[in-house]
Amino acid sequence: MTTLIWYGDEAVSHWAVDDRGIAYGDGLFETLRVEAGRGILLAGHLQRLQQGCLQLGIPFLASWPQRIADALASGKTGILRVQVTRGRGGRGYQSPSVITPGFALSWHERPQYPAQYTQWGIRVADAPFALASQPALAGIKHSNRLEQVLLRDALATQPQCQELVVCNQAGEVVEGVFSNLFMIRAGVLLTPPVTQCGVAGVLREALLADAPLPVEVATLTPSDLLAADEVFFANSVMGIWPVATYRERAWPVGEYTRQCQAHIAPWFAPE
């Protein structure tokens, strides 16, 4: 793995020992699928990163999109991980008066998911705990991810399952551990709001803006999922995974899910 790190516009070889990313998870990240040098849904990733910086009060540097473009110019295929931090800080929560943000790019192998997940669907179970509601942090891809770490480790104890249905503390469905959740009811594509908790996934946003069927953000419960015509999980690395089984329910892969998969396929293609 190669990692390039900058503080402001200064290239460095390591994170500073007093980086606030380590101390407080005081940062943001993006995980960009790259096909032969093309960043899949790159504009959406940059937009979310910029929104996250705005929300956390971290300067979004004009040089960052260019650094990403430079990395893509290598023509590689894989995953480009982008990490932003608030930079160095003293002890204590307060942001430094002058913030010189940290920025890192690292290349990773694309995860090799079995093709059957996309073709025939996955098995999903219920998460062992609910997400905390925090409107001040909801939607953005910040680096406070202990909930997801604990949930991902819980998923790993159920090797027959590929994702978890994660709810909020009101018992409403929010998302998966590492992807967003969608369901189809009467020809309408529905996905839960991410204004209280959850991540506004880049593929989720793209589908909300451009889907092959009517699409709505809606409050949904596990009962709604069980009564749905079709259910799928989606993110900008793996695409769309239909849900084959959840609790007592089993679904064949439905026609609307297939339409959505076909619809996004050009988005995921190399140029």
> Cβ closer to its own copies: 137 or 161?
137
Cβ proximity of 200 and 206 under 8 Å: no
Is residue 163 close enough to count as binding its own copies by CB under 8 A?
A: no
Which of 62, 91, 186, 271 is close enough to bind its own copies by CB under 8 A? Answer: 91
- Taking residue 150's Cβ as centre, other Cβ atoms within 10 Å add up to 14
Q: How far is the CB of 153 from its own copies (least distance, A)?
A: 5
List the interface residues with its own copies, window 139-158 (CB under 8 A): 142-153, 155-156
Listed in order, strand segments (DSSP E) in 111-229 are 122-126, 163-167, 173-175, 180-185, 188-191, 215-217
Is residue 1 close enough to count as binding its own copies by CB under 8 A?
A: yes
Structure tokens at 210: 């451009």
Tokens 């980086």 belong to 19
Query: If DSSP codes are grouped into helix, strand and coil, which group holds residue 256?
Result: helix
| Site size toward its own copies, by CB under 8 A | 61
Which of 6, 26, 33, 68 is close enough to bind its own copies by CB under 8 A? Answer: 26
Q: How far is the CB of 57 from its own copies (least distance, A)?
A: 7
Is residue 31 close enough to count as binding its own copies by CB under 8 A?
A: yes
Which of 17, 62, 73, 186 is close enough to bind its own copies by CB under 8 A? Answer: 17
Tell me the window of 1-9, 199-207, 241-249, 258-266 that interacts with its own copies (CB under 8 A).
1-9
- The residues annotated as belonging to the active site are 31, 141, 175
Is residue 15 close enough to count as binding its own copies by CB under 8 A?
A: yes
Q: How far is the CB of 147 from its own copies (least distance, A)?
A: 7
- Rounded distance between C-alpha atoms, residue 178 and residue 261, angstroms: 18
Rg (CA), the chain: 19
In whole angstroms, how far apart are CA 239 and each of 55, 103, 185? 27, 26, 21
- Taking residue 154's Cβ as centre, other Cβ atoms within 10 Å add up to 16
List the interface residues with its own copies, window 51-80 (CB under 8 A): 56-57, 79
List the interface residues with its own copies, window 114-143 (CB under 8 A): 129, 131-137, 142-143
Binding residues for its own copies, rule: CB under 8 A, are 1, 3, 5, 14-15, 17-27, 29, 31, 56-57, 79, 81, 83, 85-86, 90-95, 104, 106, 108, 111, 129, 131-137, 142-153, 155-156, 169, 177-178, 197
